[in-house]
Chain A
Amino acid sequence: MEKKTYIQAFCTIENNKIVLNGETVFESENTGFADFSKKAYQHFEIGYPKFFKMDNLSKLAFLGSELLLKAQNPNDENNTALLFANKSSSLDTDVKYQNSISDKENYFPSPAVFVYTLANICLGEISIRHQLKSENSFFIFDAFNAAFMADYANILIETQKAKNVLCGWTEFFGEDYKAFLYLVGNEGAIENTKQNLEILYNK
């Protein structure tokens, strides 16, 4: 029989609002993501200047992971795998980069933008910040795939590839964004199932 795993904490970021375990912990009115993310960074006193060099997708994933991993037992951090997915991959940054090289008369490709033209770079940012040397994967789906995410996290824990798994749906394109991140482990109140994930995702 499959061993059960549990959702220990969850966080949603959308519409200029951050909700942690069902409770609004930060909100900013009528602003774009750049301003919202900067205000959230200041509000939570993150103190990590590299945040400002990240692309939007990495900032989104980073903010969610900060809230979930800072509450974690430090001993568990090094055994935390990362399992992320989204729909638009790194398209938001890809378009910005393309714009910087589309005019032959004004051809100045930015190395700092180019390095973010892969979706899984955000996992690298989280790993560097939390010194994770663990399994990590980034998948592309049309929509949040609760069944896949539940199964994959369960397999990672069952096969002892990780003690915990930080999972995330981090979608960003243009000014549309949504992040739903959650931490899975062997203990907790909410079972890590497709049904529960769909309920929390749509909350």
Chain B
Amino acid sequence: MEALKQELKEKIIAVLNLEDIAVADINDTDALFGDGLGLDSIDALELIVLLDKDYGIKLTDPKEGKHIFQSIDTMSSYIAANRTK
């Protein structure tokens, strides 16, 4: 799980062009949206694409995203339980 969390942080920084943020700056429980990393609605769509492209997970219910994308902890748990690749 730790390896997956590390991988996720690296991918989020790369995919969302978070140039001024390093892996070490993201805590596993930090909020990804709002006061945490400050991601926006377009970033949320990119995270949905990332789940599909890299882990074979298709989110069909947008409401799921709110919980899944709360933090690195919640994202990694969901991926570990649902990944198809």
Contacts and interface: CB of A to CB of B under 8 A. Distances in A.
A38 interface: yes
Contact of A115 (B42, B49, B52, B53): B42
Interface in A94-151: 108-112, 115
Interface in B13-34: 16-20
Task: Name B's interface SS.
Answer: helix
B46 A110 contact: yes
B80 interface: no
Contact of A49 (B19, B45, B49, B53): B19
Interface residues of B, number: 12
A53 B17 contact: yes
B52 A108 contact: yes
B42 A52 contact: no
What's the dominant secondary structure at chain A's contact region? helix
B16 A53 contact: yes
Nearest to B41: A111
Q: Interface size bucket, A side?
A: 10 to 19
Nearest to A100: B49
A144 to B, nearest CB: 30
A108 B52 CA distance: 8
B53 A108 contact: yes
B18 A108 contact: no
B53 A111 contact: no
Interface in A11-60: 38, 49, 52-53
Interface string A75-107: 000000000000000000000000000000000
Interface of B: 16-20, 42-43, 45-46, 49, 52-53
Interface of A: 38, 49, 52-53, 108-112, 115
11 contacts: A49-B19, A53-B42, A108-B49, A108-B53, A109-B49, A110-B46, A110-B49, A111-B45, A112-B45, A112-B46, A115-B42
